[in-house]
Amino acid sequence: MQWDERIGRRLKLRDLHIFMTVAQQGSMGRAAKHLAVSQPVVSKAISDLERTLKVRLVDRTMKGVEPTAYGTALLRRGTIVFDELGHSVKEIEFLTDPTAGEVQIASLESLNSSFLPAVIDRLSRKFPRLTFHVLSIPAPTSQHLEVLHERTVDLAVTYLAPPFEHDDLTAEFLYPEASTVVAARDSKWARRRKIELAELVDEPWCLPTKDSVSAPLIARAFRERGLARPRNFVITDSAELRQALMATGRVLGFRTRTALRLSGTHSVLKAVPVDLHIPLGSVGIVSLKNRTINPAAELFIEYARQLAKQLSAARTIRHLAPRV
C-alpha cells in the first residue's frame, strides 16, 4: 500500500495525539480524562491507528496499557512530527508578526546572571513582544542536554570543551570564559594594588558547591600553587546568597569575567588584584541536529553571537593596552 493510500488519507493527527496521550498517561481511562473525551473515543482512535498501520501499538496489562515495540517507534517519530508542526505554527505566527515569537532555552544557572540576561535584554529591546522560556540547569552533568532530545527547548546555553562529539547534537563555541577572585568594592582586598594568593587562603570564602563547573578547577588551581583549598564557610547553591555575603566586604569569592564586565561600575563586587584566573571553557549554544530552528530562536542565536564578539573584542583591547 502506497503512502497516500495507507497514511496520507487514513492516519489522523488527532488519533496520533490521543495515542501519545495514552502512552504518557499509562491508561485509556486517564487519557480520556486528560483529553476531556469519553473512553470509547480513545479506544476507537487506538483501534483505527492499529488498523491503519496493521500492527498492535499497545498491550493491555493489569496496571493499564504500555506501548509495544511498534508503539514505541511511532511515539518516537510522532514526537518529532508534532514538534515540527509546532515550529511551523510558530514560524507562521512570526512571519505574520515579526515582533512576536517564543524562544525555549535551557541555561546553566551560572550563566543566568551574566551572559543570558544580557542577550535577552538586547533582543527584547528590539523585539519587545518576544517571550523567553528559560529552564535553569543547576550544573552540567551527562544528562543536562537531555532536554534537547526531549524537544522541550530550542537550544541550550552552556559551557563547552572541545572536542564536542555528539551524533545528534551540534554546538557553536562563542567565547572563552574564566572566573576571577572578587570582593566588595569597599573591602580592604579590593583597595590593594597587588595581592599574593597565599595571603587570602585563611580569609572567609563563599565558594561554589562541589557539583558546580568551577569547584574542581578552583581546588586544582590552589593545589598547583602549593596551597590548600580555602574553607568554604557557607555551602550553598544559591548564587544570590554568595553575592550577598561577598557584598558585606568580609567574604571572598569568584565571579566570571563576563559578569564583572557586563555589570560595570554598577556592581557591588570588584576583581581582587591577585594572579588567579580559572578557565571554565567556552560559553556556547547547543541544539539538536536536523531540527528546524524557529525564527525567534535564530534571532536569539544571532544576538548571542554579536554579544560574544563584543566581549571578545573588549578583552583583546584590555590585553593590548599598555600598563602604567
Distance CA 128, CA 96 (A): 16
Q: Where in the chain is the domain with CATH 1.10.10.10?
A: 3-85
Of 264, 95, 249, give the one whose Cα is nearest residue 183: 249
- Say if residue 171's pLDDT is above 70: yes
Residue 79 has a pLDDT of 81
Residue 1 has a pLDDT of 45
Class of 177-280 per CATH? Answer: alpha beta
Q: Where in the chain is the domain with CATH 3.40.190.10?
A: 100-175+282-319
- Top pLDDT among 81 and 248 is at 248
CATH number of the 3-85 domain: 1.10.10.10
Of the pLDDT bands very low, low, confident and very high (cuts 50, 70, 90), residue 98 is low
Which residue is associated with the grid cell 557591588?
A: 268
Q: Where in the chain is the domain with CATH 3.40.190.290?
A: 177-280
The total of other beta-carbon atoms located within 10 Å of residue 156's CB is 25
Q: Which CATH architecture has domain 100-175+282-319?
A: 3-Layer(aba) Sandwich (3.40)
Hey, is 135 helix, strand or coil? Answer: strand
**Pseudo-torsion of CA 81, 87, 88, 94, nearest 10°?**
170
Of the pLDDT bands very low, low, confident and very high (cuts 50, 70, 90), residue 320 is very low
Contact 242, 232 (CB under 8 A): no
pTM beyond 0.95: the answer is: no
